[in-house]
Structure formats: structure tokens, C-alpha cells
Amino acid sequence: MNRRKAGVCGSRRSRDRSQSEKRRVRRDPDRVLEEKLDSILVIFIPPIATAPEAVANAIVEGSRGARKPVLATFMSAKGTPPVLAPIPCYPFPESAAIALARAAAYGRWRRQPPGRIPALAGIDLERARGLVERALAGGVGWLTPPDAEEFLTAFGIPVAPARLARTEGEAAAAAKALGFPVAVKAVGPQILHKTEVGGVRLNLSDEAAVLAACRYLKERLGAELTDFLVQAMVPGGVEVIVGLTQDPTFGPLVVYGSGGTVVELVADVAFRLTPLTDRDVAAMLDEVKGTALLRGYRGAPKGDEAALKELLLRVSALVEGCPEVREMDLNPIKVLASGVRVVDARLRVGRPPAPVPSRRIAY
């Protein structure tokens, strides 16, 4: 077929489709219109000579049997007529548009395929539960650094190696055993945020530097200081935070975000209910702007995103296996070119409160 004949045939097919569409519109115009719409927002600003009740009745009557969302904006000085109760009604169009956008986003989320909770190797639940029960029996709230490290290791969460020292000499010996450079951190019942009280000394390259750091911390913190934590330095990487908080209504929430000392300042975080699926952790990473740093932002070396996702899944398994963990703050976590390392960890345990009566959300 030459080009001229092909053009004629194409034009004929186009005309046939157009005629068929016109006949369909004539047969059932309302059905065709509804197919072309995703939702309807009726905006009514009552003029002086119009009865708002009549308009409200017309909106309700016109929406009967509708298979698409119908919303209304009813700007009446007397408020929304009661007859409009079946229709979501808002005082301003902007409010209606925001609500509709939320509903559309929820619909997209519902249509996504369900995630998967993968099986994780290397979890010693019995060992972890033994640490929790021992802490609860002793009336301990916050776990000591060695117990926190052992607890995380029981769930296969990699932690930067560290040793607890009571004296300056023990700290120097621990540093030598770990290998230089090291960090020395202040430990004490009242010291929760070490950086805020100046309780961290980094990149100590020899025994003399470790001894000087210990003396500095003792002079600065006085009786608040009970021990020194000597930890191997973890160079490079991107700092992130992973934690756990308890919501009074929904229960445990896992948090992921940009970490380090600016975490509360930038508030670049994402939350999810447990248990986490593979789709949950992927979505959490995508929601946080700082994740771009792991993905080679402006030529920076990429971090091990797969290892970070696995760490989030292991934290979810920790929450499910040990509900006595009431609060957890792993910050910073260094995401390296290969693997991740928890550099600082705070964990608080306690007996879970009795569940409050509430409706369970099910999908």
C-alpha cells in the first residue's frame, strides 16, 4: 500500500472511531462523562436569590449511584445544610483539594503489591531476651554500653568494637588492644547525649592522647563520669540514625533519617509501623532527603544501601522479638562503601504497658 492509500485508510479509521464515540455519548452521556472524570468537586457560593437548601438537595440527588468521589465546597453563611451529610463538605476549595489528594495517595498505596518480611539469619533471640530479663530484674532502664553492644550483636546488627574502662590505665590498655586511632567517650547514668556535654574525644592516635582525653573528661564532668568507653574509630561513611519510639495509639514505630549531631535540627526522618517489609524499608529510604548522600550525591562515593535496608529489617525483628525495648537511638550509624557500623547506641527497656482499648486497623 502506498503512502496515499495508507493515509486515506488511517483517516477513515479515525473518522469511524469518532462516529462511534459520538453515538456512545448520545446513548449514555452521563456514563461517558463519568468515565472521563476521576472525581467531582462542587463549589457553591450562594447568590442572594438562590435557596442553599435546594442546591444542597440537587447535589445529593445528582451524586446518587456515582462511582467516583464527589466532594463539595459550600460557602454559606448559615453553614452546611444537614441534607449534605452524605457528601464530604469543606468550607474552602483548598481544603477539599488537599483531602482529595490524600485519598488519592492512599488509593495508590492500597494498590501496591504487598511487601515481604524476609527471613533473617544470625539472630540469637534467646541471648537477647536473657539480657533484657537481666536488666529488668536489676531495675535497670538504660542498658550499659557493653550490654547494648551485646544486645544488638545478638540480632546481627554490626557495632563498632569498644571496651569499657574504669581507669585511665585501663583505657590506654583497651586502646592498644583495639588498635589506634580510637575514640574515648564518657559514660555515666546521667550522661545520655555525650556530645552535648563535651563527652567525646575523637581520633586519638596513641596512648598519650588517650590518657590526656581521660583526664580532660574527668575534669569536665566530675562525679557524673563513672567509666570510659574506648571505641575503634570508623572512618568515612555517611551518618544516619535508626531508632525506635513508642506511639501511645499505634505502638512501636521505627525511625530512619539523616543522622549525626544535626538530626533534631534538620528533622529529615521517616517513620513506619512494625513489622517492616522490604517495601517499607525501600520507601523509608526514598522519603529521606539525606539518602541522596548514600547514592553518590555530587560524585561522593556510594554507601551500602542494601546493608542499611537489612539493618532496618533487623531492628524491626528486634522490636517484634523483644517488646520490652521501649526506646532506642542508634546514632550515628556509619553507612560505608561495604557494610554499616553502629557507632553509638542507647537502649531503654521496661515492661510493656497494658494495651489500651482501640480499634485495630486492618487492610
The tens digit of pLDDT for each residue in 210-263 reads 999 999 999 999 999 999 999 999 999 999 999 999 988 888 999 999 988 777
Residue 310: predicted pLDDT: 98
* Four-residue CA torsion sign, 319, 324, 326, 329: negative
3-state secondary structure of 123: coil
Assess whether 196 and 304 both reside in one domain.
Answer: no
- Residues 6 or more apart in contact with residue 230 via CB below 8 angstroms: 162, 163, 164, 165, 171, 174, 175, 178, 182, 183, 184, 210
Position 80 confidence tier, pLDDT thresholds 50, 70, 90: confident
User: Whole-prediction pTM value?
Assistant: 0.77
Q: Which residues contact 65 (CB under 8 A, 6 or more apart)?
A: none
* pLDDT at 339 > cutoff 80: yes
Whether residues 132 and 146 fall in one domain: yes
Whole-number Å distance between alpha carbons of 30 and 37? 11
Which has the minimum average pLDDT: 6-20, 68-82, 272-286? 6-20
Domain-located, residue 267:
yes
Q: What is the CATH number of the domain that holds 211?
A: 3.30.1490.20
Whether 290 is covered by a domain: the verdict is: yes
168 and 193 together in one domain: yes
The more confidently predicted of residues 265 and 35 is 265
For residues 9-31, average pLDDT: 56
Q: What is the pLDDT of residue 269?
A: 95
Residue 363: band (very low, low, confident or very high) from pLDDT cuts 50, 70, 90: very low
Lowest mean pLDDT among 54-63, 282-291, 338-347, 349-358: 349-358
Q: What is the mean pLDDT of residues 148-159?
A: 97
Q: What is the mean pLDDT of residues 109-120?
A: 91
For the stretch 177-209, pLDDT in tens is: 999 999 999 998 888 778 888 899 999 999 999
Q: How far apart are CA 307 and CA 334, in angstroms?
A: 11
Is position 1 within any domain? no
70 is a domain residue? yes
Task: For residue 6, tell me if it sits in a domain.
Answer: no
CA 337 to chain centroid: 23
Range of the domain at 207: 161-233
Q: Report the pLDDT value the prediction gives residue 255, as an integer from 0 to 100.
A: 97
All three cell numbers of 115: 511487601
26 vs 220 pLDDT, higher one: 220
Q: What is the mean pLDDT of residues 307-316?
A: 98
Nearest partner of 182 among 140, 229, 237, judged by Cα = 229
Domain boundary among 199, 233, 267: 233
Q: Is residue 10 part of a domain?
A: no
Q: How confident is the model at residue 358 (pLDDT cuts 50, 70, 90)?
A: low
pLDDT of 77 above 90:
no
Task: Evaluate if residue 125 carries a pLDDT over 90.
Answer: yes
**What integer pLDDT is reported at residue 180 of this predicted model?**
94
Rounded to an integer, the average pLDDT of 15-44 is: 65
Q: Say whether both 301 and 251 belong to one domain.
A: yes
Residues 254, 361 within the same domain: yes
The reply to whether 220 and 238 lie within a common domain is no
Identify whether residues 150 and 166 lie together within a single domain.
no
Among 176, 202, 233, the domain boundary falls at 233
Number of domains in the chain: 3
**11 within some domain:** no
pLDDT of 16 higher than 90: no
> What share of the chain has pLDDT > 70, as a percent?
87
CATH code, domain with 255: 3.30.470.20
* Residue ending a domain, choose from 179, 200, 233: 233
Q: What is the mean pLDDT of residues 83-89?
A: 85
Question: Residues 17-27: what's their mean pLDDT?
Answer: 56
Q: Are residues 197 and 304 in the same domain?
A: no
62 or 121, greater pLDDT: 121
Q: What is the pLDDT averaged over residues 140-148?
A: 90
Domain co-membership, 243 together with 265: yes
- 249 & 135 share domain: yes
User: 7 pLDDT band (50/70/90 cuts)?
Assistant: very low
129 & 273 share domain: yes
First to last CA, the chain: 56
Residue 26 shares a structural domain with residue 57: yes
Provide the pLDDT for residue 290: 93
In a domain, 117, yes or no: no
